Amino acid sequence: MTHQDLRQLYIDELKDLYSAENQMVKALPKMAKAASSEELRSAFLEHLEETKGQVERLETIFDALEESPKGKKCAGMEGLVKEGSENISEYEEEVLDAALIGAAQRVEHYEIAGYGTVIAFAELLGENQQVSLLQETLQEEKTADEKLTELSKDINVAAEHPSAQMSEGKGKRKAGRAA
């Protein structure tokens, strides 16, 4: 593979991530709205703010590369979002929360794989500033994933015993659930 080819692949992968992150900017508010646990809801909203910053980092990188971030739709993220929204229509309350965590962790792992790939390419291409920016995002994705694992411990137990009150209190119930 020539250097030029790897640069093109790098740009294509960045475009894919740009699409993926923008899809999550739209999906995370719906996931937050669907969550019953206050802690889970605020975790989604915090990650929404981080995700907006991740979009900006990608824009910074595209500026430096003098390329457009547009032109690709991440079909992988589209599928993950679609599966996640199917959960929202099929489950309720604590069980839905457990399902939302499962869906969100799939998204984080998908992003972690994508950023790992572009970081390796950026390193080879000598784009050190871009490596740093991408590593910041990768770290946020890993931290988000760990936070979800932490939250799942109580939420999965609550999902197994749906009648028990969750430690955070009742949280939001069925009203206002995203479709």
Phi then psi dihedrals of residue 102, to 5 deg: -60, -45
Stretch that binds Zn ion, among 27-35, 36-44, 75-83, 157-165 (CB under 5 A): 75-83
Give the three-class secondary structure for 69.
coil
CA-based end-to-end distance of the chain: 46
> Quick one: what does residue 99 bind among Zn ion, Fe ion, none, with the CB cut-off 5 to 8 Å set by partner type?
none
Q: Could you give the CA distance from residue 90 to residue 173 in angstroms, rounded to a whole number?
A: 15
Which amino acid, residue 151? Answer: L
CB of 36 to Zn ion, least distance (A): 30
> Quick one: what does residue 54 bind among Fe ion, Zn ion, none, with the CB cut-off 5 to 8 Å set by partner type?
Fe ion
CA 54 to chain CA centroid, Å, is: 10
Single out the residue of 76, 84, 115, 138 in contact with Zn ion (rule: CB under 5 A): 76
CB atoms within 10 A of CB 156: 15
CB of 169 to Fe ion, least distance (A): 27
> Quick one: what does residue 145 bind among Zn ion, Fe ion, none, with the CB cut-off 5 to 8 Å set by partner type?
none
Query: Smaller CB distance to Fe ion: residue 37 or 54?
Result: 54
Q: Is 74 in the site for Zn ion (CB under 5 A)?
A: yes
Residue 67 in contact with residue 146, Cβ under 8 Å?
no
DSSP summary character for residue 175: T
Chain residues that interact with Fe ion, rule: CB under 5 A: 21, 51, 54, 111, 141
Token code pair at residue 102? 């499962």
> Quick one: what does residue 69 bind among Fe ion, Zn ion, none, with the CB cut-off 5 to 8 Å set by partner type?
none
Identify the CA nearest to 100 among candidates 139, 45, 54, 21: 45
Q: Please state, in angstroms and as integers, the Cα–Cα distance from residue 76 to each residue in 72, 87, 106, 107, 109, following that order.
A: 12, 17, 11, 9, 12
CB of 1 to Fe ion, least distance (A): 27
Query: Smaller CB distance to Zn ion: residue 12 or 146?
Result: 12
Count of chain residues binding Zn ion (CB under 5 A)? 3
Single out the residue of 15, 16, 97, 145 in contact with Zn ion (rule: CB under 5 A): 16
Query: Smaller CB distance to Fe ion: residue 96 or 134?
Result: 134
Chain residues in the site for Zn ion (CB under 5 A)? 16, 74, 76
